């Protein structure tokens, strides 16, 4: 899908929004946005000179404006995306094989509950910066579904039982389904009504 393809479809349907253009083109809304705005922050799959942007400093800035401060960060070490990437053989770039988890805090009193994890869990992952967790291979639920283990670790580490977990980019509902299974309250938001519907179905299906 090229920028020209998206522009041609937009010219035919000038009132269509990104979601409608995606449906017409048979691609994701994110692809439409990337082609229109040239903000392919993943590094560019097909052009070695694609501009990339470090997002961490933006996230830190937005959080600071909301009164939240960086507390910690982890690396999710996932599978290398060899299959969908051509850029590793047409550029000097590394393949995409990790993502960042940023943890922010609101100044105030923080109670540390070491009982949230067993001693073995603290040493295996709770106190470790790099989490090696396999990516989700299928993409039938969502093209970017996260592994449940990633959600499970974040929720267990940073929220108390009965606490509320919010995912404002809920996608297929991985976070909300795991939050419910772990006895948390949950809120999921997504720009796509279809994702909201499917995430709710997936989460409602968790029987406690
Ligand atoms: C990477 S996916 C999330 C995948 C999810 N963690 C899962 O396991 O299925 C990001 C989601 O954010 C949604 N999204 C993108 N921009 C958004 C926005 N501005 N507000 C709300 N949701 C948005 C997309 O529709 C997409 O479903």
Residue whose Cα lies nearest atom 19 of ligand 1: it is 191
- 193 occurs within a structural domain: yes
Ligand 1 centre distance from Cα of residue 196 (Å) = 10
- 179 occurs within a structural domain: yes
- 96 occurs within a structural domain: no
Residue whose Cα lies nearest atom 2 of ligand 1: it is 171
Domain containing residue 168: CATH number: 3.40.50.150
Measured in residues, the chain has a length of 208
- 201 occurs within a structural domain: yes
Domain membership of residue 25 as a residue range: 1-39
- 161 occurs within a structural domain: yes
Residue whose Cα lies nearest atom 23 of ligand 1: it is 191
Q: What is the pTM of this model?
A: 0.78
Q: What is the predicted pLDDT for the residue at 28?
A: 85
Q: What is the pLDDT along the chain (208 residues), one digit of tens a residue?
A: 888 999 999 999 999 998 899 999 998 888 888 888 765 544 444 444 556 778 888 999 999 999 999 999 999 999 887 655 555 666 677 777 899 999 999 888 778 899 999 999 999 999 999 999 999 987 788 888 999 999 999 999 999 999 999 999 999 999 999 999 999 999 999 999 999 999 999 999 999 8
Q: Determine the residue of 96, 190, 194, 196 to mutate for testing ligand 1's pocket, defined as the one with the most ligand atoms within 8 A of the Cβ atom.
A: 190
Q: What is the predicted pLDDT for the residue at 41?
A: 46
- 187 occurs within a structural domain: yes
- 6 occurs within a structural domain: yes
- 150 occurs within a structural domain: yes
Q: What is the predicted pLDDT for the residue at 20?
A: 93
Last residue of a domain, one of 9, 24, 39: 39
How many domains does one find in the chain?
Answer: 2
């Amino acid at each position: 899908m090229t920028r020209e393809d998206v522009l041609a479809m937009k010219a035919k349907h000038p009132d269509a929004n990104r979601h409608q253009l995606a449906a017409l083109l048979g691609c994701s809304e994110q692809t439409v946005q990337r082609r229109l705005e040239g903000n392919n922050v993943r590094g560019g799959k097909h052009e070695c000179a694609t501009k990339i942007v470090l997002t961490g400093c933006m996230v830190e800035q937005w959080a600071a404006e909301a009164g939240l401060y960086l507390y910690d960060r982890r690396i999710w070490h996932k599978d290398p995306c060899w299959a969908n990437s051509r850029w590793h053989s047409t550029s000097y770039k590394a393949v995409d094989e990790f993502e960042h988890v940023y943890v922010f805090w609101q100044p105030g009193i923080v109670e540390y509950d070491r009982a949230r994890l067993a001693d073995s869990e603290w040493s295996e992952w709770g106190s470790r910066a790099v989490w090696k967790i396999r990516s989700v291979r299928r993409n039938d639920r969502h093209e970017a579904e996260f592994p449940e283990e990633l959600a499970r670790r974040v929720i267990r580490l940073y929220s108390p039982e009965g606490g509320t977990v919010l995912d404002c980019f809920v996608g297929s509902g991985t976070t909300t389904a795991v939050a419910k299974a772990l006895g948390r309250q949950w809120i999921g938001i997504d720009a796509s009504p279809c994702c909201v519907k499917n995430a709710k179905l997936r989460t409602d299906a968790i029987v406690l």
